[in-house]
A and B are shown apart, each in its own frame.
Chain A
Amino acid sequence: MELIVEFYPLLVKGTLLTIELTVVSAVIALAISFTVGLARLSRHWIVRTLALIYLEFFRGTSALVQMFFMFYVLPLLGISLSPFLAGVIACGFNLGSYGSEVVRGAIKSVGKGQSEAAHSLNYTSYQRYRYVLIPQAVPMMIPPFGNLLIELMKLTALTSLITLSDLTFAAQIIRSQTAMTLEPFLLILVIYFLIASVLVGFTDWLAKSIAKRRGMTPVRTN
């Protein structure tokens, strides 16, 4: 209890930064998920190949190494990203690669007849995706996206290693100051869990509200 009182400002700042990192990298990850996921369905082989290279690179290498690379190596090449930017780019790019598979998978799983019907109505491919395929795929994307969102929130703990004062960093400071280990870790465990619970609630709500608008049974998120 004393711990919370003394280190209250540090913990609040850490929690806010963790939330900020999660939200910003989630936006980046979502944009990348759709860009890369759709690019993998492109008619042009070159676009498909580029998307595949992106996917395999960011999914196949460690997020921590990517973050260190952006933070310590890019400045040597003249590109100096702020710690926050390096953190959200590394988290967002990494999770975006997983997300692109969610997008691709969901679109692929829309019945073939839908695509054929769009063709027979002479829809352009933009219209086909925009008005037929994506709207039907989105509800299916929500549960796996919810999963990834929580994964992303936990991934932001890595940013404590590139000088960002997030929640994990706050715990490390408390440990150096007080030599306590159980208490600060238990405390941030609970805070992480609470944030995750909010994220679960949000995806649940999103799934339900989409379903309600379309008058269908929601895909359960948990």
Chain B
Amino acid sequence: MMKSSTRQRLGLTLAGVLVTMLSVSSASAEDTLEKLRKQGYATVAVANEPPYSDIKSDGYVSGAAPEVARAVMKKLGVPELRAQVVPYGSMIPALLARRVDMATSGLYIKPNRCEAIIYSEPDLCGAEAFAVAKGNPHNIKTYEDIAANPEVTMTTCAGCAEELYATERGVQPAQIKVFTDPPSGIKMLQQGRVDVFALSGLGTKDLLEKFDDDNLELVMPVKGVPMGCAGSAFNPEDTAFREAYDKALSEIKASGEFASIIEPFGFSAEATMSVKRDDFCPGN
């Protein structure tokens, strides 16, 4: 008697767990924006790469991309942003797995990414840059220069646009050593493990200022690659959420609020407003 009641209880518990799991998964199908309004905050993925995204010592998320998203979400009735640090290479899986509601971290709008996720209109555009040793000993100005000299090695983040720029321009995979986080990349450059550090222009500049190392030098802009434009990224099912976001974004662009948010971080509002998502991913 005793035994069977324990077993029954166990069975009930298991059933309960299953039901909870199912209800959790079906909840994600309802309108995302509605859900965010109700709970009062949105969970966003950031990469902690100043000035695109910047986590302060008290955990507050700043940086150009989250600040734009914060202003837009406020307009949409979601007062708070909560950030989760996700490396660039894991941002798309995080969106697809609904680990985060959106990614706001300067994730460049790229055709291969558009196959998996959807973007808002561009919110940050910037040139690309290299960091090299003082005096640029290998005279590296473009990705083609790296490809031309198989001795030269470079570092950038795994799954980043820069990795694709390099391989598309003939840099051999063996020449690329990916870093796990940008400061580690600069460390590799300082220690002579690589010759070139490649990243977004403003990101590289910010790092070099923080490292304050006289033996390093900035090469910016890198010629021969397009200006990188990023947007907020969403789960492909959240098209309604994306449309609402776009509408609010165009409103703050028109009111001048947008420029006042991004220009202190060093981004050009004019350059960003001159491009559209369709320039990168038609029909996304």
Q: Does A176 contact B (CB under 8 A)?
A: yes
B58, A175: Cβ atoms closer than 8 Å: no
Q: Within the assembled complex, what's the spacing in Å between the Cα atoms of A163 and B55?
A: 13
Contact present for A80 and B58 (CB under 8 Å): no
Closest B residue, CB atoms, query A182: B187
Say yes or no for B210: interface residue by CB 8 A criterion: yes
Residue in B25, B181, B184 whose CB lies within 8 Å of A79? B25
Q: A176-B183, A179-B183, A181-B187 are in contact. Are A163 and B57 (CB under 8 A)?
A: no
Residue of A nearest to B182 (CB): A176
A172 within 8 A of B: yes
Q: Is A113 an interface residue (CB 8 A)?
A: no
Q: CB of A138 within 8 A of chain B?
A: no
* A72 lies within 8 A of B57 (CB): no
B189 to chain A, nearest CB (A): 12
- Choose the segment among A2-10, A32-40, A149-157, A206-214 that binds chain B (4+ C-beta atoms closer than 8 Å): A2-10
List the A side residues contacting B212 at CB < 8 Å.
179
B98 on interface, CB distance cutoff 8 Å: yes
CB-defined contacts of B93 to chain A, threshold 8 Å: 72
Q: Mark B85-97, 1 if CB is under 8 A from A, else 0.
A: 1110010011011
A161: Cβ under 8 A from any B Cβ: yes
Instruction: Pick the residue among B22, B54, B59 that contacts A9 (CB under 8 A).
Output: B59
Is the C-beta of B48 less than 8 angstroms from some C-beta in chain A? yes
Q: Which residue of A lies closest to B28 (CB)?
A: A80
State how many residues of chain A have any CB contact under 8 Å with chain B.
28
Does chain A have a CB within 8 A of B84? yes
B48's partner among A9, A75, A176 (CB-CB below 8 A) is: A176
Residues of chain B lying within 8 A (CB to CB) of residue A71: 97, 99
Contact of A7 among B24, B48, B54, B57 (CB under 8 A): B57
B207 at the interface (CB under 8 A from A): yes
Give Cα A173 to B56, complex, Å: 8
Complex contact A72–B94 (CB within 8 A):
yes
What distance in Å separates the Cβ of A165 from its nearest Cβ neighbour in chain B?
Answer: 8
Measured in the bound complex, the distance between the Cα atoms of B56 and A73 in whole Å is 30
Residue A76, interface by CB 8 Å:
yes
Question: Does A78 belong to the interface (CB within 8 Å)?
Answer: yes
- Cα A19 to Cα B24 in complex, Å, equals 28
Interface residues of B, dominant DSSP: mixed
Q: Is the CB of B55 within 8 A of A78?
A: no
Residues of B within 8 Å of A174, CB to CB, are 57
Residue from B25, B87, B207 in contact with A179 in the complex, judged by beta carbons closer than 8 Å? B207
CA distance A169 to B48 in the complex (A): 11
With a cutoff of 8 Å between Cβ atoms, the chain A residues found around residue B87 in the complex are: 161
Which B90-123 residues have C-beta < 8 A from chain A? Answer: 90, 93-94, 96-99
Closest residue of B by beta carbon distance from A177: B57
- B49: chain A residues at CB < 8 Å are 176
B59 touches A78 (CB 8 A): no
- B126 within 8 Å of A (CB atoms): no
A72/B25 contact (C-beta < 8 A), A7-B57, A176-B182 known? no
| Other-chain residue from A13, A80, A163 in contact with B24 (beta carbon distance below 8 A) | A80
Compute how far the CA of A76 lies from the CA of B28 in the bound complex, rounded to whole angstroms: 11
Chain A residues whose CB sits within 8 angstroms of the CB of B97 once the complex forms: 71-76, 80
- Interface set, chain B 181-234, CB cutoff 8 A to A: 181-184, 186-187, 207, 210-212
- Report the Cα distance A163→B61, complex, angstroms: 14
Decide: A80 and B98 in contact? CB cutoff 8 A.
Answer: yes
Are B187 and A173 interface neighbours, CB within 8 A?
no
Cross-chain contact B48 with A173 (CB below 8 angstroms): yes
With A176-B182, A178-B210, A181-B183: A10-B57 Cβ-Cβ less than 8 Å: yes
Q: Give the 5 A-B residue pairs with the shortest CB-CB distance, closest first.
A: A179-B210, A75-B97, A78-B25, A163-B84, A72-B93
25 A-B residue pairs with Cβ-Cβ distance under 8 Å, sorted by A, are A6-B57, A71-B99, A72-B96, A72-B99, A75-B96, A75-B99, A76-B96, A78-B21, A79-B21, A79-B25, A80-B28, A163-B84, A163-B85, A172-B85, A173-B48, A173-B57, A173-B85, A175-B184, A176-B49, A176-B50, A176-B183, A177-B50, A177-B54, A177-B57, A181-B184
